[in-house]
Structure 1
Amino acid sequence: MSTSLLPVPLAPEISLHLADDKVGLLDGTGGEFSTDVPLPFWLFVWAGGQALARYVLDRPELVRGRTVVDVASGSGVAAIAAAKAGASAVTALDVDPRAVEAAVRNAAANDLVVEAHAGDIATADITADVFLAGDVYYTARVADRMTARLRRANREGARVLVGDPGRGFFPTKLFTQVAEYVVPVPPALEETGSLVTGVWEMRTTITAR
């Protein structure tokens, strides 16, 4: 699947190698789907990631001088925003090795450096001052595992920020909404031209900061 270096609609300070806006998620697989191979989420910049990127770029003090993990990073947009905002170290984590490659490539396209690793955040032994997670609540199974891991990070003292456009499995009771954006998205991907997307901060369960 060919890509073009394009500005992120909600965060044009960042450019990413992305699929054409007329391409859908399954188009990125060549029309075939296998449960053994993750879908190519990294070919697109999703609404939750865009919202997180905008929020971090507008509030660099949230990450400046801090360590950051971008969970299920995909294209790496939130990780790149954190690096651009002055984080001391940024790690992009994704289960798909192709997403890891995309995040590194996209960071380089913005003259930035992020570390990127293939792995499942649910089992990864990783710590940071800030956890970012965009569009991660898309199935019940993923949501349960993601919530457990993010709650652990929160208990250990991390700030946890999630970007979510109302995917249906987001546990709103654990979070406080801190921002909302109307995010431009490809109609071929979302069947609409924009999604109202919230940025949410997990409520602190143990004061450790």
Structure 2
Amino acid sequence: MSETSAAFVRLHARLAPVPFVPEIRLHQADDAIGLWELTEGEYRSEQPPPFWAFAWAGGQALARYLLDHPEVVAGRRVLDLAAGSGLVAIAAVRAGAAEVRAVEVDPRAVSAIGLNAAANSAVVEATLGDILDGDPGAAEVVLAGDVFYSGEMANRVLRFLLRGARAGARVLVGDPDRAYLPRDRFHPLRAYDVPVPETLESVTVKRTTVWELKPPRAQPPRADRDRSTA
């Protein structure tokens, strides 16, 4: 964990319970717009926005679902993709996961995950890097909260999740009806009304669904594919 990044997190975010998952405390920004504007100039030079400083609706719903249905992750190896604050990863630990890895592209997010995990007495492996062109490795459950917020991100994430499902992982996402969610690829498990910062979402509550990725479509045998294209 970078001491500089950790100091930034402590300075600009306050440790407080998550509105929809009060069992978990996170470093959260009181002034959403102020922090966003503070980091905006850095974002133009490849510093990501401070996604780690807020409990986004998709992550809150997914964390709530895991705590209420611990059998989903209990005893399993878990990957939290685009983990942000680490909320979903911490919930997975609380639900009894054997190992939890949280991946982020933002160094400050990695520091926030470390600080948040420690505040909740949770053991989370926080990893810095873009793994979307790879696969989930040994993960038996792949989790992603609020990742379908842009077309480019959605396409990359879906391909990654499909690779994980083909390798045998169970894949769950939390999504508050973002425009780029490929709904035909998922089936709903549970919907919640999740409190959110009005300054970010223009509303105080968002209807948010926990979805499970449908089994990938089976590929025909290679010989059949060759005949169909002959």
The normalised TM-score by structure 1 is 0.94
Gaps of 5+ in 2: 1-10, 219-230
- The percentage of aligned residue pairs carrying the same residue is 52
* Deviation sequence 1:49-105 (CA, Å, 0-9, x none): 000000000000110000000000000000000001110000000111111111111
Residue 151 in structure 1 maps to residue 162 in structure 2 = yes
Answering whether residue 113 of structure 2 is matched by residue 87 of structure 1, we say no
Partner secondary structure for residue 145 of structure 1:
helix
* Alignment partners' CA distance in 2, 1:172 and 1:12: 29
Q: What letter is aligned with 2:173? A: V
2:196 aligns with 185
Closer, same or farther: CA 18–83 of 1 in aligned 2, 3 Å: same
CA contact (8 A) 1:72 1:121 kept: no
Q: Deviations over 1:12-42 (max 9, x none)?
A: 000001100x422623516664151111100
SS of the aligned residue for 2:143 comes to strand
Q: Which amino acid aligns with 1:143?
A: A
Question: Structure 1 pair 125/203, CA: closer, same or farther in 2 (3 Å)?
Answer: closer
Which AA in structure 1 matches 2:90? I
Q: Distance in 2 between matches of 1:135 and 1:28?
A: 23
RMSD of aligned residue pairs (Cα, Å) = 1.6
Equivalent residue for 1:70, pick from 77, 80, 83: 80
* SS of alignment partner, residue 14 of structure 1: strand
Q: Are the aligned partners of 2:36 and 2:49 in contact in 1 as well (CA < 8 Å)?
A: yes
Q: How many residues align structurally?
A: 206
Bigger Rg over Cα: 2
Unaligned runs of 5+ in 1: none
Residues 20-169 of structure 1 mapped to structure 2, 5 A cutoff: 20=30, 22-24=31-33, 26-29=36-39, 33-127=43-137, 128-169=139-180
Q: SS state of the match for residue 182, structure 1?
A: strand
Residues 150-200 of structure 1: per-residue CA shift (max 9 Å, x gap): 000011100000000011000000100000011100111111101110000
- Asked whether the equivalents of residues 157 and 206 of structure 1 are also in contact (C-alpha less than 8 Å), the reply is no
Q: Pick from 177, 201, 205 the counterpart of residue 212 of structure 2.
A: 201
Query: What's the TM-score once normalised by structure 2's chain length?
Result: 0.85
Q: Distance in 2 between matches of 1:101 and 1:108?
A: 11
